[in-house]
């Protein structure tokens, strides 16, 4: 129902790879990362249920945005499945009860 793509510019990804100090694997080279990113950009342009998250920021801000997308997708799905507002509210109550 929802796809989230964490998008990171290739130079930033390479900086992070080098910063971790473990070396690069076969996948972690500029050309491969660029091709992969291009494919995910295609997905974003052709799959309306997919959202892009800017991965060049703090994990906390990415998590907050991801949870927002998940909550909105749940509300949209509930609206489609449960036309009655009371039924929809019961279906979405799990969002508020999670800890």
**Residue pLDDT, tens place only, 3-60:** 999 999 999 999 988 888 876 677 788 999 999 999 999 999 999 999 999 999 999 9
CB-CB contact of 49 with 69 (8 Å): no
Neighbours of 75 (CB within 10 A): 14
pTM of the model: 0.76
What's residue 99's pLDDT?
53
Instruction: Give the pairing type, strands 50-54 and 3-7.
Output: parallel
Q: By the 8 A CB rule, do 46 and 8 touch?
A: no
pLDDT on residue 91:
78
């Amino acid at each position: 129902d929802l796809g989230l793509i964490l998008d990171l510019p290739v130079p930033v990804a390479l900086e992070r790879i080098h910063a971790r100090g473990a070396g690069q694997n076969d996948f972690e080279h500029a050309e491969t990362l660029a091709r992969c990113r291009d494919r995910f950009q295609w997905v974003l342009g052709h799959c309306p249920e997919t959202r892009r998250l800017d991965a060049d920021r703090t994990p906390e801000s990415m998590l907050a945005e991801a949870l927002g997308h998940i909550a909105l997708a749940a509300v949209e799905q509930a609206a489609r499945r449960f036309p009655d507002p009371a039924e929809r509210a019961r279906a979405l109550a799990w969002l508020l009860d999670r800890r």
